[in-house]
């Protein structure tokens, strides 16, 4: 019979393969830890308070905080009151990046978080359930002398969640509330060199707009973008790994098609896993450097969702196909109870992502977390996906338990079996333990690295070198799953070795009971390749 490569590899070759994969895994971590810089970079901006003297609201003007065409500025709101400047005539302006710097397409995305500095006043306190209405505009240009081009404009609402840590007395007036940062803006592409944000806080007492939000003194913005150096390392890694997975995938499927039988379910799922990994690897991000593709973040989420859904389905089917006594096999419909939660959970996360980043393609200031209804909807999707994940985990643990129980049950009867039949039961046991422990190790490694990268300060000092833990986490996990898929397709590809017909007797050195066991050639049926035994006597009763 033509078995899988893992069935015919010697222990020595398998150890060599494992050591080689571990060396490449270590290399993937070293690339991120020693070569790549930190994955992201953050910069804080204090918005400049500009005075808007335009009499007609339909006129469009962008207010620059510095430069030749800088706006008329005020330092405090007390100065504005002294000059009789109303709140509706104040514009908070922030230029990204800071003076003498430029943005780059290598930054990939730009995430902006908003923070209000609100002072406590006895006569102007923050009401419970206060909502801030923001009139915000975003513009761009590619040199310091051209006119600003509007990129987006929107009226947004943000819920204030602030606490005053001291006692609310006259003596504590002027002290600041402690307010939670608010999601403000996310752009999926950084195609221009300069960006300008203008924020207005319109006040309308009759419509209760921006009433009861306290005395806002300043607005701070934190801009986060991907580090250009990390982007280059990441793109290079994807470019290197794409052909390796693509070649092993083609080689794997060629071996499958050379078989005289049709591919079985497990082989199809392994091939689909290779396709999903290749889909992630294809470095289409190179085009985002030259094109303004704002949908790249959403596209990346979809690619990861497809891969992880395929990976989870593979683990379920891998366990099910190793239940040696299970009659119904090699049919995808058998696993609908286990795969169903994966599909439904993935669909919920996809809807959530479309409600967030999908809408941001047209309005970068939108956030599903900005309203109570949106927050409840988002939490519903996440909770449902979490329930599906728990159900999947229970199904997987139950199937793993069944496989090990099945394997243990056969162990007592192995000595009485012929050599060929003993291999028929021993090899699936070895395959399952070898391949089944790898995803467990991968998952534990991913959780550990995620925890360590969030707990520590983001880098370690190793002699004269600085190890970027966060970068090592990204490149290491990415390399780990590529190596895992590579190993699965290589080890489960059909082997060129074939077993000949064999005749053996029960017992040591002869037929102790005079009852023969004849092994016929391998046959193929709807459940895949299996060995047909002609049994008599005691073995026929097993």
Q: Residue 271: pLDDT band by 50, 70, 90 thresholds?
A: very high
Handedness of CA 323, 324, 330, 333 (dihedral sign): negative
Least confident stretch, 53-62, 94-103, 194-203, 477-486: 53-62
Mean pLDDT (whole number) for 133-140: 94
Name the residue ranges covered by the structural domains of the chain: 5-39+229-498+516-534, 41-226
Per the DSSP assignment, residues forming a β-bridge with 234 are none
pLDDT given for residue 504 in this prediction: 37
Tell me: pLDDT of 396 over 50: yes
pLDDT given for residue 333 in this prediction: 80
Question: What's the half-sphere exposure (Cβ side, CA atoms, 13 Å) at 468?
Answer: 22
Question: What's the half-sphere exposure (Cβ side, CA atoms, 13 Å) at 221?
Answer: 24
pLDDT given for residue 530 in this prediction: 35
CA angle 15/17/20 to nearest 5° reads 110
In a 10 Å sphere around its CB, with 0-12 CB exposed, 13-18 middle and 19+ buried, how is residue 529 labelled? middle
Tell me: pLDDT of 292 over 70: yes
Mean pLDDT (whole number) for 124-128: 88
CB 271 within 8 A of CB 252: yes
Tell me: pLDDT of 508 over 50: no
- CB count within 10 Å of CB 449 equals 19
Preceding amide of 97 cis, omega within 30: yes
pLDDT given for residue 20 in this prediction: 92
In this structure, the strands spanning 528-530 and 523-525 are antiparallel
CATH code of the domain occupying 5-39+229-498+516-534: 1.20.1070
- Going by C-alpha positions, the residue among 383, 392, 489, 487 that lies closest to residue 442 is 487
Chain position carrying tokens 């005395």: 215
Give, in order, the Cα–Cα distances in Å from 229 to each of 39, 97, 163, 235, 513.
8, 17, 39, 10, 74
Mean pLDDT (whole number) for 5-16: 81
pLDDT given for residue 329 in this prediction: 67
Residue pLDDT, tens place only, 218-239: 999 999 999 999 999 999 999 9
pLDDT given for residue 512 in this prediction: 35
What share of the chain has pLDDT > 90, as a percent?
Answer: 36
Tell me: pLDDT of 453 over 50: no
Residue 494 phi, psi dihedral angles, 5° rounding: -60, 135
Which residue would you say has higher pLDDT here, 509 or 495?
495
Residue pLDDT, tens place only, 321-372: 776 555 666 777 888 888 888 899 899 899 999 999 999 999 999 998 888 8
């Amino acid at each position: 019979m033509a078995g899988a490569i893992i069935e015919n590899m010697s222990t020595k070759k398998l150890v060599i393969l494992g050591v080689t994969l571990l060396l490449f895994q270590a290399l993937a971590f070293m690339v991120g830890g020693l070569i790549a810089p930190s994955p992201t970079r953050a910069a804080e901006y204090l918005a400049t308070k500009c005075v808007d003297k335009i009499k007609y609201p339909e006129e469009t003007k962008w207010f620059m905080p510095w430069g030749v065409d800088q706006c008329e500025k005020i330092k405090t709101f007390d100065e504005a009151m002294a000059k009789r400047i109303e709140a509706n005539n104040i514009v908070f302006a922030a230029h990204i990046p800071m003076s003498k710097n430029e943005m780059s397409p290598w930054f990939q995305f730009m995430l902006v978080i908003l923070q209000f500095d609100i002072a406590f006043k006895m006569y102007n306190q923050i009401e419970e359930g206060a909502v801030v209405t923001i009139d915000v505009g975003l513009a761009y240009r590619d040199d310091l002398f051209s006119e600003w081009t509007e990129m987006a404009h929107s009226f947004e609402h943000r819920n204030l969640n602030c606490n005053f840590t001291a006692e609310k007395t006259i003596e504590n007036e002027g002290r600041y509330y402690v307010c939670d940062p608010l999601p403000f803006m996310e752009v999926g592409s950084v195609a221009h060199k300069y960006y300008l944000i203008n924020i207005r806080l319109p006040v309308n007492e009759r419509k209760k707009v921006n009433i009861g939000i306290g005395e806002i003194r300043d607005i701070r913005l934190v801009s986060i973008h991907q580090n250009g150096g990390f982007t280059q390392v990441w793109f290079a890694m994807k470019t290197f790994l794409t052909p390796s997975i693509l070649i092993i995938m083609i080689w794997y499927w060629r071996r499958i098609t050379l078989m005289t039988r049709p591919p079985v379910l497990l082989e199809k799922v392994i091939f689909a896993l290779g396709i999903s990994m290749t889909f992630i690897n294809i470095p289409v991000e190179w085009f985002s450097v030259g094109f303004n593709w704002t949908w790249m973040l959403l596209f990346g989420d979809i690619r990861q969702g497809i891969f992880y859904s395929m990976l989870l389905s593979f683990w379920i089917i891998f366990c099910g196909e190793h239940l040696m006594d299970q009659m119904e096999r090699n049919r995808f419909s058998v696993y609908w109870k286990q795969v169903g939660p994966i599909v439904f959970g993935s669909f919920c996360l996809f809807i959530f992502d479309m409600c967030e980043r999908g809408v941001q393609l047209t309005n970068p200031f939108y956030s599903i977390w900005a309203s109570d209804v949106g927050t409840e909807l988002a939490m519903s999707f996440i909770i449902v996906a979490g329930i599906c994940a728990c159900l999947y985990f229970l199904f997987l643990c139950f199937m793993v338990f069944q496989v090990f129980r099945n394997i243990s049950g056969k162990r007592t009867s192995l000595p009485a079996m012929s050599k060929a039949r003993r291999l028929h039961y021993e090899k699936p046991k070895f395959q399952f333990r070898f391949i089944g422990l790898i995803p467990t190790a991968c998952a534990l490694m991913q959780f550990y690295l995620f925890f360590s990268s969030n707990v520590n300060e983001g880098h370690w000092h190793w002699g004269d070198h600085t190890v970027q833990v966060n970068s090592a986490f990204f490149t290491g996990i990415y390399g780990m799953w590529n190596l895992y898929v590579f190993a699965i397709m290589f080890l489960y590809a059909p082997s060129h070795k074939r077993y000949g017909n064999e005749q053996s007797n029960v017992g040591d050195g002869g037929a102790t009971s005079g009852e023969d066991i004849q092994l016929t050639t391998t046959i193929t049926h709807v459940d895949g390749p299996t060995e047909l035994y002609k049994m008599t006597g005691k073995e026929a009763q097993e």
